[in-house]
A = this chain, B = another copy of it.
Amino acid sequence: MANTDSVNIRVLSLNCWGIRYVSKHTAQRYAMIGDMLCKEEHDVVLLQEVWSEKDYLFLKKKLACSHPHSHHFKSGVIGSGLAIFSKHRIHETFLYRYSLNGYPYMAQHGDWFGGKAVGMAVLKFGSLTANVYVTHLHAEYCRDKDSYLPHRVVQAWELQQFVRHTSVGADVVILGGDLNMHPQDLGNRLLLSYTGLRDSYLEAAKFDGCENGMTLVADNPFICKKELAPFEKGIRIDYILFKGSSKTDVYCDFMSTTKGSVPDHPFPYSDHEALTSVLRLETERDGPRTSKNPDSAAGKLAELVDIVTEARTEVKVGLHCAERMRYTASRTGVMGLALLFLELAIAAVPWLALGAEQPFPRTSFYLLAALCFAILTATALLYVFYTTELKSLQGAEDQMRLAVGSLQEKLRGFPLALPHDAHLRPPPAGQGPEE
């Protein structure tokens, strides 16, 4: 211990539920959130659902002293809703927009308009480079028949790709946000296994907060209890994840969540609970550690292969569904076109038989024509939309296939060879990557 430098970092993550004119008591809640953040002075604050630029600017003004550095990630029609406030200078930011995010015609769910994404900020804690990520995945509206599952799995896939590929040079990696996934959900397992990120709640030496670390609790007055069923007490879908590097060890000394009510206030900060993790970063002065257990590495790889294969299956289900929807859209479009031709033909008969009286009432004629055009426009837009969805799903499926091939090859290198030598051996016949 004498040979290590230690830094403590406090991180907060909160879904602010900041839908103007829809969310309840938005202004008062932002004032409460601002007061709390000002007082608590976390090193890094990761917020979701800060949909309005005005609300972000309100917080920015309020936190000018405690958190002089901030960034609001912009994306889509109404923004990504993601914001970061920091005591430490933000050196850079980068945004990755998920390729899939629900359906535009599901306006009541609204996710599509939000431009869901993962935002990254590069900070420095002393001499340590930290990559901090904030994200918000597509909501789950019905657990039994979750039509958005393939979209969320693809989002989790892209999230792990983004984090893994962009965090190679970082000493510390922190990810906070509303993942809309239960701890054992496929997307969550995919994210944690592939990136090596660890869950603050599971790792915390000490925890103070809602039972089972729940972040969406049934007692919250803003929550419709019916929607939580069959989870009577609540669910855990918000996370603060972290990992270190060869240079730095990270430990979670303490984790807490808010517990619904706020003293001296009639309602809580949001419909979600806020999470706070106290992370201890330890840097060994003697240089990078080298500890690897090939057996456990092989076991983890095998588990990862299973998880990616499961994700691939889920994406394939989404592919079939999108293909069926596109087919329905095109069939409806063809029917609209046929109806239009039929109408024109009926109208044309007396016109061709010069002088004959027009039997088609004018009003009905125009209304029917307008209906046909509406059907054609809607189905054309849907066709284009489903084509885009198909491309994204196929793309993710292709990437997963390649990844599984590569992981399996690596796995074949255990325990005889080290992972980075695995590529030197030819794969067994019939097991090429293009299977």
Contacts and interface: CB of A to CB of B under 8 A. Distances in A.
Interface of A: 60, 68-79, 89-97, 99, 115, 120, 124, 126-127, 161-162, 165-166, 168-169, 362-363, 366, 370, 384, 387-388, 391-392, 394-395, 398-399, 402-403, 405-406, 409, 420-421, 423-424, 432-434
A290 to B, nearest CB: 15
Contacts of A77: 384, 387-388, 391
Q: Is the interface of A mostly helix, strand, loop or mixed?
A: mixed
Listed residue (A91, A115, A398) with the most chain B CB atoms within 10 angstroms of its CB:
A91
Nearest to A406: B91
A398 B78 CA distance: 16
Copies in the complex: 2
A76 B394 CA distance: 12
8 contacts: A68-B434, A70-B434, A74-B395, A76-B388, A91-B406, A94-B165, A115-B388, A127-B421
Nearest to A385: B77
A423 B75 contact: no
Given A388-B76, A420-B127, A402 B432 contact: no
A434 B363 CA distance: 61
A353 B161 CA distance: 68
Contact of A370 (B73, B370, B432): B370
Listed residue (A78, A363, A423) with the most chain B CB atoms within 10 angstroms of its CB:
A423
A277 to B, nearest CB: 23
Contact of A73 (B75, B92, B395, B421): B395
